[in-house]
Amino acid sequence: MTDCRKLLQALATRQPVSGAKLAAQLGISRAAIWKQVEGLRANGLPIEAQSGRGYMLPNALDLLEVDTICQALPASVRQRLGTIEVHWVLDSSSSEMQRRIEGLKNASFIFTELQTHGRGRRGRVWQVPPTLGLTFSLLWRFDKGFAGLAGLSLAVGVAVSEVLARCGARGIGLKWPNDVQYASAKMGGILVELSGEFLGPCQAVMGIGINLRLPADMRKQLDQPVSDLAEACVGEFPARNTLAAALVTAMIQAMDCFAKRGFAAFQQRYTALDVLQGQNLRVFQSGRFYQARGAGVDRRGALRVVNEVGRIETLDSAEVTVRTS
């Protein structure tokens, strides 16, 4: 999709602007303006059209900017930072990182305003409207092998959730293995992809998506309950660049800790956020469904459940939902 930042900046006044004025200001045709507006709408960004007056944005414009993010970082974090980029559109931030992984430094971050093929767990699609969420990926290189990275997505979830809580969100929880929730609905997701040597060294690309303000029309199109940061916050939450900087800082600190101590260092903090603990669950594993009760996670980040006969099982991979009846 065409880079529409100039169009959005022209609409940043939150006052109606006519198509003719936008065309003259941007040096393109009115048809091109209409095409860009329709493209943004198709990707979930609500742009209002007021009869006889023009187009306008219902919310203040808040575009990501590399310089603004970096200025908000502590000096100690800026010294550790690899590459940091902001793109208008990518197929996905993680795919872009994977394509360039050999040339990127450790602790590199790639943000994108729009993903055309955002990826979630088990091949699911992840989409956030441009400027109404945060979508980014982080590259981290580890000396240990794959086995030493058990629980990494849970540790990332802890770091993300704690940042959101410090920004004013209440009632944030984590659903094993990779969902950030509010009010039993998905606010964000985490996808970890590993490459390298099984026994080490290896690298992880961690994709993170967070809903900040989801339009009602987009909610209706999704196949699961969803929430956003605006619902969870008491009052206004920080600007996107400020929130992005807070997440960059938290991720670097969390990865330093995880590299030294593994998930065990995050287990207690995860338990405080665990929305499955003590819940009646429906588990799908190895081609069968069964009922169980959540019993927390172990020091590797595996899910513990009490099965139908009262025996504790440890799950490294499964589809788990809370039973509603």
| pLDDT the model gives residue 126 | 63
pLDDT tens digits, one per residue of 120-164: 555 555 678 899 999 999 999 999 999 899 999 999 999 999 999
pLDDT digits (tens, 9 = 90+) for 273-315: 999 999 999 999 888 899 999 999 999 999 999 998 999 999 9
Nearest Cα neighbor of 13 from 41, 42, 53, 43 is 53
For the residues 88-114, what does the mean pLDDT come to?
96
The domain 280-322 is classified under which CATH number: 3.60.20.40, 1.10.10.10, 2.30.30.100, 3.40.50.300? 2.30.30.100
The 3-state secondary structure of 192-224, one letter per residue: EEEEECCCCCEEEEEEEEEECCCCHHHHHHCCC
Arithmetic mean of pLDDT, 18-38: 93
**Average pLDDT for 24-44:** 92
pLDDT at 237 over 60: yes
Check whether 271 has a pLDDT greater than 90.
Answer: yes
% of the chain surpassing 70 pLDDT: 97
Dump pLDDT digits (tens) for 57-98. 988 889 999 999 999 999 999 999 999 999 999 999 999 999
Domain boundaries, the chain: 5-56, 66-271, 280-322
Indicate the pLDDT class of residue 119, thresholds 50, 70 and 90: low
Query: Which amino acid type is present at position 184?
Result: S
The chain-wide mean pLDDT, for the chain, equals 92
Superfamily of domain 66-271 in CATH is: Bira Bifunctional Protein; Domain 2 (3.30.930.10)
pLDDT per residue as tens digits for the range 165-191: 999 999 999 999 999 999 999 999 999
Q: Which CATH number fits domain 5-56: 3.40.50.150, 3.30.230.10, 1.10.10.10, 1.10.238.10?
A: 1.10.10.10
If one compares 44 and 266, the residue with the highest pLDDT of the two is 266
**Tens-place pLDDT, residues 254-269:** 999 999 999 999 999 9
Which residues, in sequence order, are CB contacts of 57 under 8 Å at separation 6+? Answer: 8, 11, 12, 14, 46, 47, 48
CA distance 148 to 259: 9
3-state secondary structure of 10: helix
Residue 325 in this model has a pLDDT that exceeds 80: no
Query: Which residue has tokens 């088990």?
Result: 122
d(C-alpha 161, C-alpha 20), whole Å: 44
